[in-house]
Amino acid sequence: MGKTPAITGTIERASTDPLHYGDFVSFTTTVNGRISPKGRVYVRVIGTQFSKVIYQWSADPDFAFPLVQQDGLAALGLMFDPAVAADFTAALIYREDGGQTIIKTLDEVAFVVVSS
C-alpha cells in the first residue's frame, strides 16, 4: 500500500464579490510539503442545482474558471440555469501517479453563484 504524502494546503476564493452566471472565479492556494516529481496539484470545481451536477472542471490552481454552461454536460441534459442559484465547491487536490495512484483532497471551499 502506498504511503500518503505529508502535503497540506489551503484554498479560498481570490475575491469575496458575489458571483453570477458568466463571471470567472479564481482561487488563492497554498501548498506545504514536498511534491513528488510524479505529483501535481490542481483545483476541481463542481457546481450543483437541485442536487444535480451542472458544472465540473479541473485545472491548475492559477486558472480562472468560467461560470458558464459546459457543452459536455449540456449534451447530457445537465443544464446550468442562470435564473437559479447554484451551489459550488472548489477542492485543492494533490495527485501522485506511480505504482499506486494517490489522490488527496488538501482543502475545500464552498461558494454560491447567485441567480441573475
What CATH number is associated with residue 86? 2.60.40
Tell which phi-psi region holds residue 51, choosing left (phi > 0), alpha (psi between -120 and 50) or beta.
Answer: left
**pLDDT for position 15:** 95
CA-to-CA separations, 34 to 5, 9, 38, in angstroms, rounded? 8, 12, 11
Residue identified by cell 486558472 is 63
**pLDDT for position 39:** 94
Total tally of structural domains belonging to the chain? 1
Per residue, the 3-state secondary structure of 73-97, as one string, reads HHHCCCCCCCCCCEEEEEEEEEEEC
Give a yes or no: residue 62 inside a domain. Answer: yes
Give a yes or no: residue 2 inside a domain. Answer: no
Q: In whole angstroms, what is the distance from residue 67 CA to residue 40 CA?
A: 24
Give a yes or no: residue 1 inside a domain. Answer: no
Give a yes or no: residue 3 inside a domain. Answer: no
Give a yes or no: residue 30 inside a domain. Answer: yes
Give a yes or no: residue 80 inside a domain. Answer: yes
**pLDDT for position 2:** 53
Q: By residue range, what is the domain housing residue 99?
A: 8-114
Segments of the chain with pLDDT less than 50: 1
Give a yes or no: residue 38 inside a domain. Answer: yes
